[in-house]
Amino acid sequence: MQMNELTELRDQAYETSYIYKERTKLTQDAKLIPTKFALGDTVLLFNSRFKKFTGKFRSRWSGPVKVIHAFSHGAIELEGPTGNFKVNGYPLKAYLEDQSREEHLFSLDPF
């Protein structure tokens, strides 16, 4: 009798943990915003290798790199300085060039 109760408790625990995992997956997936990149877009690539050994002011984003091809399943082919490579679309963000920035030249000569 007690063995049957133990197996029922174990089955209930498996079922509740499965339901909990499904709910957390749904909430996490709802937070993901799919980004669409087109041919010729300029993007920045998140470099996760800097996570462990990062300096205070070191940027974790590398690039800019150009998009060569965006696949329908979310993979994106990029053209970098070392060649072409494919990545998942999530560690990318759009690179916006600041075109309003003007270079100012200052002379240190008083005359």
Closest CA to 83 of 61, 70, 65: 65
Residues contacting 54, CB < 8 A, separation 6+: 60
Q: What is the pLDDT of residue 15?
A: 96
Residue 103 has pLDDT above 60, yes or no: no
Q: What is the token pair recorded at 12?
A: 């209930």
**pLDDT tens for each residue of 18-47:** 999 999 999 998 887 777 888 888 999 887
Q: What is the pLDDT of residue 13?
A: 96
Which CATH number among 1.20.120, 1.10.287, 2.30.30, 2.60.40 corresponds to the domain 42-94? 2.30.30
Q: What is the pLDDT of residue 80?
A: 84
**pLDDT tens for each residue of 50-83:** 566 556 677 788 878 999 998 888 889 999 888 8
